[in-house]
Structure formats: C-alpha cells, structure tokens
Structure 1
C-alpha cells in the first residue's frame, strides 16, 4: 500500500457512512477535524523523506495520537472501540509505509481513547 492509497481509505470514510445510517457518534465537525489530523500525519510522514529514523516516525505517531486525544475530548468522546481499532490500524499502516518495522501497538504509549 502507498500513502496515496491509505489516504483514500481513511477510517473517516466509514464513519461518514455510519453517520448517514444514523450513528450519532459522528458529526460533520468531528469527521472533518479527524480528516485534517490524519492528512497532517500523512504529510508529516512524507516530509521525513525516503530514509526516516524510527525516532522521527514515532514522533509523528506521538503527534497524531495526542491530536486525536484532543479531538476526542473536544467532541464528547466519539472514539470508541471500533473507531480506536480503525485509527490504530491506519496510524500503524502509515508508519509501516514510512519505514517503521514494529509488531507492537505504537500508539498505546500516548493514546487516551
């Protein structure tokens, strides 16, 4: 998978569909805000170039997780179990594309959701 493919498959696409099916966890505001955070994460990983260090990649992971913590707080805790799994999958896959080799949940250290 590439960053471009991953960007087209953000968890927020499914959230929008669930919102349209009357899932009241989601609003246009929290979906748009999450999209901005995830797009920023991908862009930050891309800026690292072709040979980023593990430390640089994990710094991007830390930033995206902390920003998602803030959004979750701001929008009344819309990140529940399914959303957490979808976000973690996305974040970990993007880090892998950037070059991180890890079998661990790299979000856990900072995650509050």
Structure 2
C-alpha cells in the first residue's frame, strides 16, 4: 500500500512538472499554421522586372566598360514600358503580334547601336520573360513559347 501511494504521488508530481509552463488556454499552432503566417513575398510586376533589368545593366557599367551608356539603358526601359502600355490596350492576337514585332525590332536596333553588348544572355531572358508574360496574360501565346524569337537578334 505504501508503494502504491508512493507511485501515485510520483506520478502526480511528474505530470505537474511536465505540464508546467504550458499555456493551456491558447491552443498550439501547427507547423502549417505557422508557415501560413510567414510574410509572403510580394508579386513581382513587369515594372519591377524592368527596374531590376535597368539596375543590372547600370551596375555592370560600373565594373566594366561596355559600349552602352545610361541613356541606352533608359531607352531600353522606355521601349519595354511602351510595349507594356500598347499590349495592354490591344484587342487581338494579330494586333499583339504587331506590337511585339515593333518592340523587338526597336530593341534590335538599340542593341546593334551598342555593339550587341546591351542585351546579353541574362538580359535577353529577362526581356523575353517580360514580353511573354504580358502577351500570355492576354491569351496571345503560352508563356513557355517565346513570342519574340521570330524577330529577335539578341
């Protein structure tokens, strides 16, 4: 009997110690609920992509001596912004393709003027992403299809 009482007393002490510090009034969050509360990154817009592209081109100018200037970088941004404005106003795939062709040819001319140094691999990928995202959101192509390839020289 004494052993039984001792066992019960030890059990009660063990349970009270192991529960000490737990807030029993607030339910514990699951890992999934904790993950949901983490701040989600903001959506990257085409304007943000253009700004990052221009920043990358400008930063490269600081470490190298490319054949393009800040004015050329700005012109690239203007061409892309004009493209986005026009493609958003377009109402048909045919009209959209004309807008893409016009923008790509302007970029070709600008890049040629810069001895093909303005738009290199990473810039090409970013520019085609901007154009493909805009045209695919209008339903003119699938995002995976490079709508610029037909006219692009860079």
Q: TM-score w.r.t. structure 1 length?
A: 0.80
Q: Which has the larger radius of gyration?
A: 2
- The 8 Å contact of residues 104 and 148 in structure 2, kept in 1 or not, is answered as yes
CA offset digits 1:14-49 (Å, max 9, x no partner): 2223334x143352021011011111101111222x
Q: How many aligned positions are there?
A: 107
Q: Indicate the residue corresponding to 1:34 in structure 2.
A: 76
**RMSD of Structure 2 on Structure 1 (CA):** 2.1
Q: Please identify runs of 4+ aligned residues in structure 1 that moved more than 6 A.
A: none
Find 1:13's aligned residue among 44, 49, 55: 55
Q: Where does 1:33-112 land on structure 2 (aligned, <5 Å)?
A: 33-48=75-90, 52-78=91-117, 79-102=119-142, 103-112=144-153
Q: Unpaired runs of 5+ in structure 1?
A: none
**Per chain length, whose mean CA-contact separation is higher, i.e. which structure has more relative contact order (CA < 8 Å, sep 6+)?**
1
Aligned partners of 2:46 and 2:115: how far apart in 1? 27
Q: TM-score w.r.t. structure 2 length?
A: 0.61
Aligned partners of 2:152 and 2:61: how far apart in 1? 24
